[in-house]
C-alpha cells in the first residue's frame, strides 16, 4: 500500500465519521496511522448539539495531539444527502440535520480547512484504495450500523450522482410493503430497515415478546437493551434465536447484493459497519443467496469481503479526503 512517504507521511489531519447514534474521530497521518481517537454519542441530539459535539471532539483530539505534528485539516463523513460542491447537508434520515452549510460552519468554528462528503463515500474510498478492495477499480460498499450507508467506486472514482446525493444504497426498496423505513425516509421495505443493526434489534425484541424464556427476553428482564451487537454476541455463543435473526438478515442482505451485482457488475462488494461484526454468520447466508439468485457471470466475478478497516473505515476515509481536498496530498493505492 502506498500512501505518503518522506516528510509528507508525518502530516496530520482529523478524520470524523458521524453516524446515526455515535461519532468517531481520530488524528490520522499520511501513512494512515491513527494516532489518537475520540468518541461521542449523537443519539437524541438536535442540530446545534451535533455541531457542538463535532467542535468538542476536534478540541479533544487537538489536546491529545499537543506537542506533536500539527493538525492541518479536518475531513468529515456525514450520513446525509449532500450538495457536494457547496458542502451543504441537504437532508438526513437518521439525524436532525437539514439544509445546513456544514462545511462553511465547521470551517469557521474550527479555524481549519474542512472537507465534507457522505459517510458511505469516504468509507468506500478507504476500502477501495487502501483496504479490503485495494487494487480493484469497481467496488461497492455497504456499512451496516444504525442505518445502512452505501458507497460506489466506478473506474477508481467515487460516484456521487449529479449533485452529490447519490449512492443511497440503503434506501433501495427490497421488500415491497415491508416495514416502514426509519427516520425521515418515507418509504417501506428499504434495505436499511431489513439489514441494519436497528433491524436486528427490532427482530430480536419481537422474539422476546413472543417467548419469555428466550435469551432476548432475559436480556430485557435484566435491564439491558437489545442492540445489533447483542444479537451478534448471542449468535456467536450459539443461541438459536439469535442465529435465526442473522440468517433472516443475511437473506435480505443477499437480496440487496443480487440487485447491486446485476446493476453494477462490481469486482468486489465490501461489508462494513458495526453490524457486520457478525462475520460469516451473516455473510455466508448472503453469499448463498447471491449465488442462487444472481445473474451469471456477475455473481461469479464479484468478491464479497469484510471491511479491512472495520468500524474505522469512515474515519480513515474522511482523513484521506482531507489530505486530498484540503492539503493537495492525494493518497493513492499501490
| Residue 101 and residue 221 in one domain | no
Among candidates 142, 182, 96, which has minimal Cα distance to 270? 142
Task: Give the SS3 label for residue 158.
Answer: strand
| Region for residue 310 given its phi and psi (left: phi exceeds 0; alpha: psi -120 to 50; beta: otherwise) | left
Instruction: For the beta carbon of residue 188, count every other beta carbon within 10 angstroms.
Output: 14
89 with 166, same domain: the answer is no
pLDDT given at position 25: 96
Confidence (pLDDT) at 8: 67
Residue 229 three-state SS:
helix
Beta bridge partners of 15: 26, 75
Same domain, 47 and 158: no
129 domain-assigned:
no
Strand pairing partners for 188?
180
- Report if pTM > 0.75: yes
Q: Is position 333 within any domain?
A: no
| Whether residues 180 and 62 fall in one domain | no
Are residues 165 and 183 both part of a single domain? yes
Is the domain of 292 the same as that of 320?
Answer: no
Residue 78 belongs to a domain: yes
CA distance 112 to 319: 13
Q: What is the pLDDT of residue 1?
A: 45
Stated length of the chain: 334
Alpha-carbon distance of 51 to 65, in angstroms, equals 21
Residue 189 domain-assigned (yes or no):
yes
CATH number at 48 reads 3.30.420.40
Identify whether 130 is part of a domain: no
- Both 250 and 320 in one domain: the answer is no
Question: What's the average pLDDT block by block, 10 residues per block, for the chain (334 residues)?
Answer: 58 92 92 93 81 95 95 94 91 86 96 94 92 95 90 93 89 93 90 94 96 96 94 95 96 96 97 83 94 96 92 91 90 55
113 and 140: one domain? no
Pairing of strands 157-158, 98-100: unpaired
How many domains is the chain built from?
2
* Residues 29, 81 share a domain: yes
Cβ count near 134 (within 10 Å): 16
Mention every residue, 6+ apart, whose C-beta is less than 8 A from residue 252.
Answer: 174, 175, 191, 194, 195
Residues 71 and 148 in one domain: no
The answer to the question of residue 59 being in a domain is: yes
Task: Tell me which residue range forms the domain holding 90.
Answer: 6-124+312-325
In whole angstroms, how far apart are CA 170 and each of 69, 132, 205, 243?
38, 20, 22, 23
Judgement on whether residues 178 and 44 belong to the same structural domain of the protein: no
- Classify residue 109: in a domain, yes or no: yes
Domain presence at residue 332:
no
Q: Please report where in the chains the cell 481549519 appears, as a residue.
A: 112
Same domain, 298 and 207: yes
Amino acid at each position: 500500500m502506498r500512501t505518503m512517504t518522506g516528510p509528507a507521511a508525518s502530516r496530520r489531519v482529523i478524520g470524523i465519521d458521524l453516524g446515526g447514534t455515535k461519532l468517531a474521530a481520530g488524528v490520522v497521518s499520511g501513512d494512515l496511522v491513527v494516532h489518537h481517537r475520540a468518541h461521542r454519542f449523537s443519539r437524541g441530539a438536535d442540530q446545534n448539539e451535533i455541531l457542538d459535539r463535532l467542535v468538542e471532539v476536534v478540541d479533544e483530539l487537538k489536546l491529545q495531539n499537543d506537542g506533536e505534528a500539527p493538525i492541518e485539516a479536518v475531513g468529515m463523513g456525514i450520513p446525509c444527502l449532500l450538495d457536494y460542491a457547496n458542502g451543504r447537508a441537504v437532508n438526513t434520515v437518521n439525524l436532525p440535520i437539514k439544509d445546513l452549510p456544514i462545511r462553511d460552519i465547521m470551517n469557521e468554528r474550527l479555524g481549519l480547512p474542512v472537507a465534507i462528503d457522505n459517510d458511505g463515500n469516504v468509507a468506500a474510498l478507504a476500502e477501495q484504495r487502501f483496504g479490503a478492495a485495494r487494487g480493484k477499480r469497481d467496488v461497492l460498499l455497504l456499512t451496516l450500523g444504525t442505518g445502512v450507508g452505501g458507497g460506489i467506486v466506478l473506474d477508481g472514482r467515487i460516484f456521487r450522482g449529479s449533485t452529490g446525493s447519490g449512492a443511497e444504497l440503503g434506501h433501495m426498496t427490497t421488500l415491497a410493503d415491508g416495514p416502514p423505513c426509519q427516520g425521515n425516509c418515507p418509504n417501506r421495505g428499504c434495505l436499511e430497515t431489513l439489514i441494519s443493526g436497528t433491524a436486528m434489534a427490532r427482530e430480536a425484541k419481537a422474539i422476546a415478546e413472543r417467548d419469555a424464556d428466550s435469551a432476548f427476553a432475559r436480556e430485557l428482564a435484566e435491564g439491558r437493551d437489545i442492540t445489533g451487537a447483542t444479537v451478534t454476541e448471542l449468535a456467536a455463543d450459539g443461541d438459536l434465536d439469535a442465529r435465526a435473526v442473522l440468517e433472516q438478515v443475511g437473506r435480505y442482505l443477499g437480496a440487496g447484493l443480487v440487485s447491486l451485482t446485476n446493476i453494477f457488475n462490481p469486482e468486489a462488494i465490501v461489508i462494513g459497519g458495526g453490524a457486520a461484526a457478525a462475520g460469516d454468520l451473516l455473510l455466508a447466508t448472503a453469499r448463498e443467496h447471491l449465488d442462487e439468485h444472481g445473474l451469471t457471470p456477475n455473481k461469479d466475478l464479484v468478491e464479497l469481503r469484510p471491511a479491512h478497516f472495520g468500524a474505522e473505515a469512515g474515519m480513515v476515509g474522511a482523513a484521506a479526503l482531507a489530505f486530498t481536498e484540503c492539503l493537495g496530498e492525494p493518497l493513492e493505492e499501490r
